[in-house]
A and B are shown apart, each in its own frame.
Chain A
Amino acid sequence: DAMVIQNPRYQVTQFGKPVTLSCSQTLNHNVMYWYQQKSSQAPKLLFHYYDKDFNNEADTPDNFQSRRPNTSFCFLDIRSPGLGDAAMYLCATSREGGLQPQHFGDGTRLSIL
Chain B
Amino acid sequence: EDQVTQSPEALRLQEGESSSLNCSYTVSGLRGLFWYRQDPGKGPEFLFTLYSAGEEKEKERLKATLTKKESFLHITAPKPEDSATYLCAVHTGGGTGNQFYFGTGTSLTVIP
Chain A residues in the interface with B (C-beta under 8 A): 4, 6, 31, 33, 40-45, 48, 50, 53, 55, 90, 92, 97-99, 101-107, 109
Contacts and interface: CB of A to CB of B under 8 A. Distances in A.
Contacts of B91: 98-99
Describe A's contact surface by its main secondary structure: strand
Nearest to B93: A98
A67 to B, nearest CB: 19
Interface of B: 4, 31-32, 34, 36, 41-46, 49, 51, 87, 89, 91, 93-98, 100-105
A98 B101 CA distance: 12
Contacts of A33: 98, 100
Nearest to B49: A101
A99 B102 contact: no
A43 B43 CA distance: 10
B43 A98 contact: no
9 contacts: A41-B104, A42-B87, A55-B96, A97-B98, A102-B100, A104-B36, A104-B43, A104-B44, A107-B43
B100 A45 contact: yes
B103 A103 contact: no
